[in-house]
Amino acid sequence: MKYIIGNWKANKSVDEVGKWVTEFTEAYQSDTQVQSLINSNLVRIIVCPSFAHLSLVQPLSSLQGISVGSQSISAQKPGSHTGEVTGEHLQGLAEFAIIGHSERRAEAHEDDQIAAEQVKRAQESSITPILCIRGQEDQIPSGTPIVAFEPVSAIGTGSNMPVDEVLDQKNQCALPDEAAFLYGGSVKPDTAGTYLQSSEIDGLLIGGASLDPASFLAIVRTVSSS
């Protein structure tokens, strides 16, 4: 089973989210190749909008094989933390949470210690953490179920890292046993298949190419049906 995760980052208005959900749902339901992958349990699709739009995308979570995720989660427990979005807030709205994305590490100063707290908070709320690492310099808490390797040089640059280099990097990371290993960074429909063909790569984290429902579904179609 491969994860195909769409990270919309700080994109889309309320209207654009509604349009994406409508277009994606129609295309997903009428795509026999995608339906066969879903029915065979070969792919799990996760859509991660901004916190503000989590409730707008809920109709997606009633479709087979599709879940909703958040792009972050507070390291705090509920209480006096103005502006924080806690695990409790997310319960019922997100089954997964992206944690430690390099943009959060750079812009919101989230370090390994904060990321470890966020992983803990997610798990306490029965939300599955998807921990992003930039490379072997970022620590992976034990028990982290999904790790997404996203080299900064590849994010949003058009320079996706070749599969052999991704696998070299994987070997140097202290991955917990049983953790799923994902790649992210400038993956497009024409390059997705090269990663997904590898039994060593359990899925993809997609930024730019997830903003358009057609290109996101085109990536889902590259999951091998065998």
Q: Which of 205, 217, 218, 220 binds ligand PGA (CB under 6 A)?
A: 205
| Type of residue found at 113 | Q
Q: Which of 121, 207, 216, 222 binds ligand PGA (CB under 6 A)?
A: 207
Position 206 contacts ligand PGA (CB under 6 A): yes
Position 118 contacts ligand PGA (CB under 6 A): no
* Cα angle: 226, vertex 132, 61; to 5 degrees: 60
Residue 33: C-alpha distances to residues 29, 43, 52, 190, 191 (Å): 10, 12, 32, 17, 18
The residue whose Cβ lies closest to ligand PGA is 207
Both tokens assigned to 2: 């491969």
Both tokens assigned to 39: 């029915």
User: How many CA atoms within 13 Å lie on the side-chain side of 115?
Assistant: 28
Both tokens assigned to 132: 């992003």
Position 92 contacts ligand PGA (CB under 6 A): no
Position 189 contacts ligand PGA (CB under 6 A): no
35 or 211: whose CB is closer to ligand PGA? 211
Q: Which of 72, 144, 169, 186 binds ligand PGA (CB under 6 A)?
A: 186
Residue 52: C-alpha distances to residues 12, 100, 125, 149, 213 (Å): 11, 19, 19, 26, 19
Interface of this chain with ligand PGA, residues 145 to 174, rule: CB under 6 A? 150, 155-156
C-alpha closest to that of 4 among 199, 187, 200: 187
Interface of this chain with ligand PGA, residues 13 to 72, rule: CB under 6 A? none
Position 208 contacts ligand PGA (CB under 6 A): yes
Q: Which of 49, 184, 189, 203 binds ligand PGA (CB under 6 A)?
A: 184
In this chain, which stretch among 26-34, 86-94, 184-192, 214-222 interacts with ligand PGA, using CB under 6 A? 184-192
89 or 188: whose CB is closer to ligand PGA? 188
Find the distance separating the first CA and the last CA of the chain, reported in whole Å: 11
**Residues with catalytic annotation?**
101, 150
- Cβ neighbours of 40 (radius 10 Å): 13
Contacting residues toward ligand PGA, per CB under 6 A: 7, 150, 155-156, 184-187, 205-209
